[in-house]
Structures are given as structure tokens and as C-alpha cells.
Amino acid sequence: MSQPMLKCKACGTLHEDFDGLELTFCPACGWCSHRATTSKHGREICEVCDREIRLEKLRENVYQTIQMQGQRVLSVKNPWAYLIIHYGKDVENRRQAVKYRGRILIHASKTSDMYAYERRWSGDEALKKTFDSLIENIYEVEKTNGHIIGSVELHDCVKGSQSVWAENLPEPYSQYHWLLREPHPFATPLPVRGMLGLWPYEALQGGA
């Protein structure tokens, strides 16, 4: 009787599942699923299977880059970009409407919106706690500036969203609400220059 097949998450190679356990190491590409590492003579070594994981990270970066081909990118200032990818911010407030629907890449701009931290969203206790958490980890947030940090699905563009993240201002200052869902953070953010609007990844591919 044939064994179930497991696909390597890095290279896609199929392997027979002899022991009924999830694939932890791919001999085809060197991918390793363990995250516990230690440094030995300048190399990162997996503490579980004692293999060097530098190759895994390299292949992970390549795999992410391949996934980004043909996708649209939106540059957003931190902490808003970080909130979209890591805290479930489901609305991006913009003056312009957008017809595009589908998954987009979120690029954290090189400069941050420091006013966002000052406001602290004191009118909503849950949002205040969110911003308090961001301030406690501000180094982790700010070091993503100038990087594509993940992707999210842009599924609609409306006015009058009731999300806590939606800014509902009177005319003529009203904004469109780009509705977002299903954020996917990248394990390794990619340094890229930003652009205005919703731009194709290839436009500045390889920029720093």
C-alpha cells in the first residue's frame, strides 16, 4: 500500500509520509521546519536536527520573491502598515477610490507617521492597548520601514465603513475605505523603494 505524500513548503518536492508525522526536513532542498536555532562558528544551526538553516532562509527569500511576481503593492506608513499585517487593521483610509480587487503586498514606507503614536486612540480602550503594545515594541515596528512586510486581500472599496479603523469625516474631507482581510506576514521582509498609489511589484524590483 502506498504511503501518503507530503509536499515540501519550500521547493514543492513530494515525499512519502512513512511515520505519519508532518514533514520536518526536505533532503531535496535542505528546508527545515524547526525554529529553534543556535550559533556555531558563525553559522545558524537547528537545535533539533543539527542542520545549518542558512539554506532554508535563502530558499524562503527566493520563494517569497517568486510569489510577489505580478502582484500590486501599496506603500503605507508605519505603524499603519504593521497594524494591517500584524494587528488585523481592516481598513486603509484613502482619498481616492480603487477598482482593483485581490491580494496586494503591503510596503512599509521609509518614514513613519509619528502622529499616530501621539494620538493613542484614547477614545477606544482596545485600540489604546494596541498602540501601547506598538510603543513597547517600537523598534520591531520601525525596523520594517522600507520593506515589503506581507500581503493582504483588498476585497472592496466603500464609504461609511463601521470598522474602528475607518475615518468617517464630513464632506469635502470624506475618505474612501479600502476594505482588507486575511493578512499574511512575511517571515523575511524584503527591502524595496516605495511608490505612490497601487503599483506593480516589478516597477521597482530589486530597489533598496
The partner residues of 40 in beta bridges, in order of sequence, read: 43
- pLDDT value at residue 109: 92
Largest Cα–Cα separation, the chain: 69
pLDDT of residue 208: 35
* pLDDT (0 to 100) of residue 189: 84
Torsion of CA 146, 151, 157, 163, to 10 degrees: -90
d(CA 68, CA 190): 11
Inter-CA distances, 98 with 105, 106, 177, 179, Å: 15, 16, 10, 11
State which H helix or E strand residue 199 sits in: strand 198-200
User: What's the predicted TM-score (pTM) here?
Assistant: 0.65
| Segment-wise mean pLDDT, segments of 10 residues, the chain, 208 residues | 65 62 61 60 59 54 57 90 92 92 91 78 74 84 89 91 85 87 86 79 52
Q: Which domains does the chain have, with CATH numbers?
A: 5-65 (no CATH), 69-204 (2.30.130.30)
The pLDDT, as a whole number, for residue 139 is 85
